[in-house]
A and B are shown apart, each in its own frame.
Chain A
Amino acid sequence: MTDVTADAMPARRQGSGLLRLLLSNEFGLAVLIAVAFGTFALTLPGFTSPFSLFTIGRQIGIDTMIGLAMMAVIVTGGLDLSVGAIGVCAAMVFGWLAQAMGVPLPIAVPMAILFGASLGFINGYAVVRSGVHSFIITLASMSIFFGIMIFLTKAQAFNQLPPEVTQFGKTRLFGMVSVLLVITLVVCVALSIFYRFTTLGRQMLAAGANPRAAELSGIRTGRVITACHMLTGALAALAGLMLTARTGAAVPSMAGHLGQDWLLPAFLAPVLGGTLLSGGRVSVIGTLLGAAFVTIMTSGLLLMRVGEFWILACLGLILLAAVLTDRLRQGVLRKRGLI
């Protein structure tokens, strides 16, 4: 499992491999998922019904995509508060193209993703040129993107999309696997390959781990950081499109006020999965597992009738518990000299 974790600076491998695996974030998450899933499956009737598995898989697909979007920019040690705003903007552009302009779907989808990437480019360009931390730049741009979108759409949804969109969101493979989850898995594999084997991917990790060293070794850090923001924009757009397919409409409020509702899933999945907020290390599989864990917990708690209002507080506690456990894990690893 550690193989899929891309690391800018390969850790010293002399430690015990098995212990390292057992203490890895991904392994811990996999165990947690198994325990949570097993408990819910045994105690909650209907949790493992094909329809329930389908909705859980669909949610995992969307949340993972949101998490991957944030992960792509956390790599640089930055962050992007505007993921939700970009996702909604791209979904609305898609809705406008597909519904109002009658653009065929095979063209509308790439155009929406491209639009997301170009919004990401604006973020990246502003961050690199101003030298201001991405927190404040994307705080401003989330307000601007969302404001322009609401202004142009007059807060109206596009709800007469071509029927294929809704149909796509409902598609099940083998009766229980959402096609949205399959898309996410494909993107996960592609991103793993990207970070591990391509020059640009390696450069992103290097620029995130140590920008000065990367600059000195000939990487044009500015361009690489801009590329990271563009990747974030594209993935956020994809998440927005997936959400549109699930809802069957492009709704301006689908990510909450200013797209803030995406912030928690966006940070929860990568942080649970062991992506370092300081940059330089990503874990694609960890992000997937993180999103899976959160979704399974949420669905289970909902089925237990915890009340959807308390779910929010539970997710916050999970995030808190996750970062605290991670601290503990690192402490153990350090004591044993494994990192």
Chain B
Amino acid sequence: MNRLFDNDWVGPALVCLVAVVGISILQPSFLSPFNILVLLSAIAVNMVIALGQLVIIAIGQMNLALGAFGGLVAICFVAVMELYGVPPVIALLIGLAIGTAAGAASGFVIARTGISAFIITLAGLQIFKGINLGITEAQPFYGVPQSVKDFGNHAIFGPIPWLIVPMIIASVGMWYLFNRLRIGRYILAVGGNRTAAELSGINITATIIWAHAISGLLAAIAGMMLVARLQIGQPTIGDDWLISSFAAPVIGGAVLAGGHVSVAGTFFGVVIIAIITQALVLFAIDPFVVQIVLGALILWAVGINRYREIRVAKLNEAR
């Protein structure tokens, strides 16, 4: 029993279960097919965003530019379709390439100069957001093809939206990366103990660039998913990713110092945030309260993680 509770995802999963049961008793429309569809669409997008931050947390850094990557990719994705008539599949590949390249570039600067990721990604945030606004002049692109709109708003069957598909691919991919692939192991090793990783022959520079490139790729996917869902190339896409991208992994038990992450935990973190956001809407509570709740959730999760760390340390001492 105790060993079960040492899993990162069990606590958040229990919270999800209690929240779903509690809210659906108070407000039966919570479990209506339409509401589930909306909920799952929100979860799908936010999970990919959270994974984009998770891979950087794994390496012990942070990516403030995540939203700026996503926003730039989103408007480029629509712009090439609207202005040059590029088919959606090619536009998708262009978007993925831009996100990955932007991530790799910021990873390259961080790894080669050794300047803190915070400052580099803060600069990156302004640069990419600036390019975004420079291109769009804060006006949205409207020319989203019908197929893309359908992808973002139609269900596969019942209340399961198509948007779930990229989320599942990204989640399984990240799980596979961290648990089975060498580069994922390297990322965790560098995050856990950089010196030890370096001494055991891991190429630190390459690993950091990989992590940031993957982060950029995931931001690109999330940005384009949002285009499909909103049916419009909004320049403001990505502006509000910062808090939630950290909240979900932290609630899911990620250690911010790096070296330890949980994809399943992050998923339940995303679900908790989505449920709370939805519940506030259902109960007609001021949407601004979401901000307060999100902040409180981060503090609560940090407190729990801290408590577990202390408990583990005590157990180790007792042995």
Q: CB-nearest residue of chain A relative to B244?
A: A143
A144 interface residue (CB < 8 Å to B): yes
CB atoms of A143 and B302 under 8 A apart: no
- Are B242 and A313 closer than 8 Å at their CB atoms? no
Q: Is the CB of A126 within 8 A of B134?
A: no
Considering the complex, which residues of chain B in the window 94-141 have a beta carbon less than 8 Å from any beta carbon of chain A? 109, 113-116, 118-120, 122-131, 133-134, 137-138
Return chain B residues, CB-CB under 8 Å to A135: 62, 118, 256
Contacts of B246 in A (CB 8 A): 136, 139
Which of A130, A139, A151, A310 gathers the greatest number of chain B CB atoms within 10 Å? A139
B126 touches which of A144, A155, A315, A323 (Cβ 8 Å): A315
In contact, B256 and A314 (Cβ under 8 angstroms): no
Q: Cβ of A142 < 8 Å from any Cβ of B?
A: yes
A140 contact set on B, CB distance < 8 A: 294-296, 298-299, 302
- The residue on A at minimum CB distance from B310 is A131
A-B contact count (CB 8 A): 133
Among A21-29, A57-65, A202-210, A263-271, the stretch that binds chain B is A263-271
- In the complex, whether A258 has a CB less than 8 A from a CB of chain B is yes
For window 298-339 of A, CB contacts with B under 8 Å fall at: 307, 309-317, 319-320, 323-324, 327
For A257, list chain B residues within 8 Å (CB): 239-240
Contact residues in B for A277 (Cβ distance below 8 Å): 116, 118-119
| A295 interfacial contact with B, CB 8 Å | no
Which residue of A has the minimal Cβ distance to B131? A313
Interface centre among B115, B138, B257 (most CB of A within 10 A): B115
Interface presence of A247 (CB below 8 A): no
Q: Are A151 and B123 in contact (CB under 8 A)?
A: no
Q: Is the CB of A143 within 8 A of B134?
A: no
B306 contacts chain A at the CB level, 8 A cutoff: yes
A137 and B256 contact, Cβ closer than 8 Å, known pairs A310-B134, A316-B130, A323-B115:
no
Query: Does B113 contact A126, Cβ atoms closer than 8 Å?
Result: no
* Contacts A135-B62, A310-B134, A320-B120 given; does A143 touch B115 at CB 8 Å: no
Is B122 in contact with A147, judged by CB distance below 8 angstroms?
no
CA distance A277 to B115 in the complex (A): 10
Selected from B116, B129, B137, B295, the residue in CB contact (under 8 A) with A143 is B295
CB of A287 within 8 Å of the partner chain? no
* Contact yes or no, A136 B298, CB < 8 A: yes
A277 nearest CB neighbor, chain B only: B116
* Residue A150 lies at the interface, judged by CB distance under 8 Å to chain B: yes
Assess the A309–B137 pair: CB atoms within 8 A. yes
Q: A147 to B285: give the CA distance in the assembly, Å.
A: 13
B76 to chain A, nearest CB (A): 15
C-alpha spacing A139/B126, complex, angstroms: 18
> Is B270 in the interface zone, CB < 8 Å from A?
no
A118 at the interface (CB under 8 A from B): no
Answer yes or no: B197 CB below 8 A from chain A CBs: no
Q: Which of the listed residues A136, A257, A267 has the most CB atoms from chain B within 10 Å of its own CB?
A: A136
Q: Which 6 A-B pairs have the closest CB atoms?
A: A313-B130, A316-B126, A147-B291, A143-B295, A312-B130, A316-B127
List residues of A whose CB falls within 8 A of some B CB.
79, 126, 130-133, 135-137, 139-144, 146-148, 150-151, 155, 257-258, 260, 263-264, 267, 271, 277, 307, 309-317, 319-320, 323-324, 327
Residues on B lying within 8 angstroms of A by beta carbon are 62, 109, 113-116, 118-120, 122-131, 133-134, 137-138, 239-240, 242-243, 246, 250, 256-257, 286, 288-296, 298-299, 302-303, 306
Beyond the given A132-B302, A258-B242, A277-B116, could you list 10 further A-B residue pairs with CB under 8 A, ordered by the A residue number? A132-B256, A133-B257, A258-B291, A310-B133, A312-B126, A313-B127, A316-B126, A320-B127, A324-B113, A327-B115
